[in-house]
Structure formats: structure tokens, C-alpha cells
Structure 1
């Protein structure tokens, strides 16, 4: 974790290239779509950026949806692909839920651009900043008063090209049976040594960040983001004595898949590929990390307590034990 503070200029973070005027901050805005109930908050964010003389660079499809509802200047910077962010973007703000923030991996890639999630969704483990904090967020970015959480990624190697040029994910990699077909047998190896054969609907390999997502809903443990580990969690295992396991993230995990169906599904976060059982698959830790912006009055424990309602006495709403 790297802490940035206006009082410590050595820690200031910038990804601007030398040819860009560093006195002008450029912030990319990404969202999957436009909901009318979010319009006032989006306008507030744009107004706050304007007050600070920050140039927004808006995801092209999102901009097209907003244009009939927001009075923009004559020229607006937009982006539609990762290369459009090269050399001028200091931050990317995700407007939505956790799934929206996970999408930003495809744009950020290995650029190191910090991502901040404003929660327009529901639970919001990753997009944990509330819409009521928009003014504070913009001020914090301008004052360099925030922290960066470095999050590890999981990388997929396959015997055929998969997932275009983004074969990595922030949350998890999964293997899953297709549709309503019978369970699959997933032979799993660690650095080439046999670990287990999972008879199940599927198998999840999550990063520490992903441990509070799909893996958690299937009975996996919560892992601190700083932990150098993967979590292997079966989905609806046939053998009830099979449990999730935590392994060091310097291991290469490889798989052989069998089943009555010749095809199965593999995913990286919300992206999916349908492949057959002749494809060889292996996952490992990605060589670079993703930077998530965190306001300095928040941390992982704070998020756990608030999102999972830890310590809340349900017999006494609003009270804690």
C-alpha cells in the first residue's frame, strides 16, 4: 500500500507523460450505462470536476447516453479503448457497482492508472465510496490526500487464444459446467503435482480481492487484500468433505476437465468463453498489479463491518452488541 498526502510531495503519484501539461488533471469516467435516478449525482460529479478545472475523459458509449440529459461544452474528450488512455489520465472513476469497476481492468491493463469506484450499485465491496462523498472525493484527488491499495491479479495461460489481449482478472478465474449439463471432473495440479479431482458444478480460483465475491458465496474464506495467496473454492461439490483451500500465489495451478458434455465455461470476472475439454488451462499471479484509490478514513476492516453488517444486533436495528 502506498499512501499519498499533500504534505509529502515525494509520494505524489502521476501517470502523465512528459509532454502533457501536469497542471491540468485528466480523469477518465467509466460506467456501463445510464440510469435516470443517478443523473443528479453524475451532474454533481461533473460540476465538481469543473470547479477544480479537471478535464473529464468520458467512456464513449456512456457519453452518448448522457448527452441528451447533460449540457456539455462543445468539445468533450472521450475514450473507447485502452490505448485512448495512454499518457494523459491520472485517475479513472468507475460509476456503478463492483461489476462496473471490474470492467476497468480491460482499459487500465498494465498502465498503473489508479481506479476509484463510486457506488451506484448495491453492496459495493470494491466500489465502496458512496455517492454522498462525491465532493470529498474530488477534493481528495486534487489534494493528493488518499491511499493506493495495490491489488494482485490472476493470469490465465491457455493452449488456444482466449479473452483477446486481456487474459487476467481482478477477482477470479472459474471453470463451470455448461447450462444444465451434469457436473464436471476437474483434475487440479499445483506446480505440476496433483492436488485433487473436484467433482462439482465448477471451480473458482480467486485472488484476495475476489475472496469477498463469488468465492465467499460458495463458502470460501475472507482473505485480506495484502495476503499473497489464491483461494480454490469448489462450486456445489459432490463430495461434502471437499473444502476451500488457500495456497501461496507463487504456485501455478493447472487443470484437466472431464464431463459428459464436450464443452464447458471458463470465466475471468464477468467475461466468459465456451471451450472444449481439449483446451489446456493454467493460472498464476499476474506480473503487474492494479491500484485502487481509498480515502484515508476508510480501510478493509471498515468495509467488512459495514458491508457484512458485522457487530449489528439484528434484534435491535441500528444497535451494536
Structure 2
């Protein structure tokens, strides 16, 4: 089997996981390819040579991400629509997507060999704007969320919002988050949005610090086409796709909808979303529960 390894960190913890991982993979005769930039930082410490890659193709059987959820979001920009399953080894903190710990690496590899895993297909969002923007056009999709927010000002912005060409409202706020179920445990959650299970056919609109207290998160069908226009005191505003940020002119028409492809996350039978939710949100730590 041909496996790609990706990480964006060069700290001791990811390196320790990488050393364990390549040892196990070599023992089981995997063809190992390490992302070129990451490999440049760790090659001297590995004391052995590996093949590298800068771009992926459909010949890879799966990709292993070493880091936190942010590393997986970066890995998604490499996988794109190639249908390559992603496995996340967690060396970060929270880890809703990256759930395999260092001491579970060998068990995870054996589960892959024995096909003892499941594929969780994750919805993505795509974005289109009616102005030239290289940052968005080069990678116009997001796994977690797409958000618009103010730039270079402490003043609020107005986000005019339409759903399937029907006017919804104009949010007077610091911004607006459009989140997938996967992203519902991220930025949206910190702004008061609901947790949505990964297989739900839903999106959520979550205003960021709205001035009107009646503005509440709204769950909608994931087939909905969302159109936004931003206005404010400054001439420009920000749009973020997961961790990637671009600048748009005010009154640019932003169209957001479900992307035409999904990302495949590899999950194992000893883990479920509800189990991860309890652990990460510390449910049950209160002794009264």
C-alpha cells in the first residue's frame, strides 16, 4: 500500500510520532512518501531516506496527518477531490478529527491492513465571488467553515444574507460563520453554535458577536445556496476558509454552497463521534453527572 505522510509542525511530539509511524509502516512493507517541506525539516533526525511528494495523485491509498485538527485542514487542500482517505494522529490539544494517540499507532496500522475501519464522508463548502481573487480561486473550498468578518476596524459590519434567493436578514455583527457539521465543533461552537453530528445533512449560520440579541444560530439544509454581501465603515472585509484568509471589497457577492465532493476520514471501531465528544468536552467530569 502507498501512504502519504503530512505534518506542518517540526516539534518534538510530531517527530516522535513520525518515528514510531515509519517504523511500523516499514515493518509491514508500506510504500512511504513524506511531504517535501516537512521532510526537509526532519530528514536529518530520521537517519534514513524516504520518498517525498509535493502534490498527491490517485495512486495513494491513504494519507496520514500528524498534528492537530489544523494539520488535517491543511492536508485537505492536498487531498482535494482525489478520494484519498485521511487518518489523523493527534499531537495537538483538542483533536475532534485527529483522534489517534501515539500509543495507538501500531493498532491503527494493523486495523488498516485488516480493513477493520470505517469511512466517514465529510461535507465541504465551496465559495464563489464575483471579483478576481487569487487566494480564493486557487483553493475555493473548506472542510470546517467559511466566515466573513470585519477588517482594520473595531466597528461592526452588516452581512446581508439570502437563502436560495430569498432574503433572510442583515446581521449587524463582527461577522458570520457558515459551518459544516464537521466545523460545528470549531469556530461556530465558540460563538454559541450547536454541535451537529458529522452525518447530518445540515449547515449552520452562526453570527459573530451580533448587536441584536435576537440573532441566533440557524440550522439549514445543506442543499441551500447562501448569498452574502458585506458592508461597513471600511471598504474591505475578510473571508476565511478554514485557516486561509482573503480580503474582499465590500458589496462583493459571495455565493456559498455544498461542494461537489467530500473528504473521507478513516475511523476505527474503537472510536465514535459521541465518544470523542464526551472526551473533548469533558462531559461527565462533573461528579453530579
- TM-score, length-normalised on structure 1? 0.87
What is the aligned partner in structure 1 of residue 191 from structure 2? 218
1:137 to 92, 104, 108: 108
Q: Distance in 1 between matches of 2:87 and 2:131?
A: 33
Map 1:251-270 → 2, pairs under 5 A: 251-270=224-243
Are positions 1:107 and 2:83 aligned together?
A: no
1:93 to 64, 82, 95: 64
1:79 to 36, 39, 53: 53
Map 1:222-261 → 2, pairs under 5 A: 222-261=195-234
Q: Which runs of 5+ in 2 are unaligned?
A: none
| Deviation sequence 1:211-240 (CA, Å, 0-9, x none) | 000000000000111111110000000011
2:12 to 36, 48, 59: 36
Are positions 1:187 and 2:163 aligned together?
A: no
Q: Secondary structure of the equivalent of 2:138?
A: coil
Check the 8 A contact 1:155/1:168 in 2, yes or no.
yes
Q: What's the CA shift for 1:181? A: 3.4
What is the aligned partner in structure 2 of residue 49 from structure 1? 25
Check the 8 A contact 2:7/2:66 in 1, yes or no.
yes
Map 1:53-64 → 2, pairs under 5 A: 53-64=29-40
Check the 8 A contact 1:181/1:260 in 2, yes or no.
no
Q: What's the CA shift for 1:161? A: 4.1
Q: How many residues align?
A: 287
Are positions 1:128 and 2:102 aligned together?
A: no
- TM-score, length-normalised on structure 2? 0.96
Check the 8 A contact 2:58/2:82 in 1, yes or no.
no
Q: What's the CA shift for 1:37? A: 3.5
What is the aligned partner in structure 1 of residue 138 from structure 2? 165
Q: Distance in 2 between matches of 1:267 and 1:98?
A: 16
Are positions 1:301 and 2:274 aligned together?
A: yes
Q: Which runs of 5+ in 1 are unaligned?
A: 1-24
